[in-house]
Amino acid sequence: MLKGEPLWVFLGGVVVAVRYVIIGIVVVVAVVATALVLLPPTHRASMQYVGSPNGFEAFVPSSQTINYNGHTDPVGDLILPNGTTLKHAIWNGRYAGTIIQNHNQIVQLNSQFVGQTDPVNGQPYVPLQDFYVIKGQVPVQQVTINGQTYYVIEASSINPGNIAGFYTYDKWVPNFVVAMNTPGAIPERLPGNSPVYNWTNTTGTLVYETHLYQHYGPDFTGGYVLVPPNNPIIPYGTIYIYPGGASFTNFIVPQQIYNPSG
C-alpha cells in the first residue's frame, strides 16, 4: 500500500490539475463569448434615412455592378428631392436583378437608335435613362469597399408599393425628380395626334422615342408627360416592376390628357 500511495497521489494530482485546466478553459470561453456579444458588429454602419418623408428620391443605375454580400448589385447615383446627387450608390436587395436587366435593355436600345432620326419631327434620337423612384425616406448604410465609400440602399426595407420605374432623356432625370417634388406638377398622357410629336426639339423627339422603346421592352410604356406649374414639360415612360408602384398610380396611369394650348 505504501508503494502504491505515491502513485495514487500523483495520479490524483494530475486529475485535479486537468480538472482545473478544463474549468479554466470553460471560464475563458464564457468570458470571450460574453465580450463578443457586448461588442458592436464590425464593418457595419448604422442605418440612416435620407430624403423627405413625403417626397420622392431616385436611384439612377450606371452600367456598373458590384458584388455586395455575395450578390450582384447595380451601382449608380441617388438623387434627392431637391436635385442633389449622392454618387456611388448601391441598390441592394429587392429588384436588384430587375434593375440590372432593365438598364441593360435601355443601353442596348440606345446603342441601336441614338443617332438615327425621328421620322415625325426629323430630329436625332437622344439617349434615354432608366431610374427607380422611391416615395418617402430612403434607408441607406454607408460602407467602404476597396477604399471607396458607398451609399447602400437597403431596398428590401422599402415597401414595394413605394418603388416605381421610369425612363426619360438622360440629362433630364434630375429635372424630373425635382418636378415630381414640386407642388402642382401633374402627370398627363398624350393622344396619338398630339402636336407635341411634331415639335422640332428634344421634347418632341422624346415623346416619340419613349413610344419607340416600348415596342422592344415588354415592361416599358411611353407617351406620358410631367407638367410642372412653371417649367417645360418632361416626356417620360414607365417601367413595370411587380409588385411595385401602388403609390405612383397617377404617374403610371395618368388620367388627364395634355393640351399644349390649355
For the stretch 126-172, pLDDT in tens is 999 999 999 999 999 999 999 999 999 999 999 999 999 999 999 99
Give the residue with greater pLDDT, 41 vs 116: 116
Percent of the chain residues past pLDDT 70, beyond the cut: 82
Grid cell locating 150: 458607398
Query: What is the Cα–Cα distance from 79 to 178, expressed in whole angstroms?
Result: 9
pLDDT for residue 222: 97
Give the residue with greater pLDDT, 17 vs 73: 73
Give the residue with greater pLDDT, 200 vs 3: 200
Beta strand segments in 48-190, E: 48-50, 56-68, 71-79, 85-92, 128-135, 138-145, 148-154, 163-169, 186-189
pLDDT for residue 44: 56
- CA-to-CA separations, 127 to 140, 166, 213, in angstroms, rounded: 29, 14, 11
Give the residue with greater pLDDT, 37 vs 49: 49
pLDDT for residue 183: 96
Q: Cβ neighbours of residue 70 under 8 Å, at least 6 residues apart?
A: none
Report the mean per-residue pLDDT for the chain.
86
Q: What is the mean pLDDT of residues 27-42?
A: 36
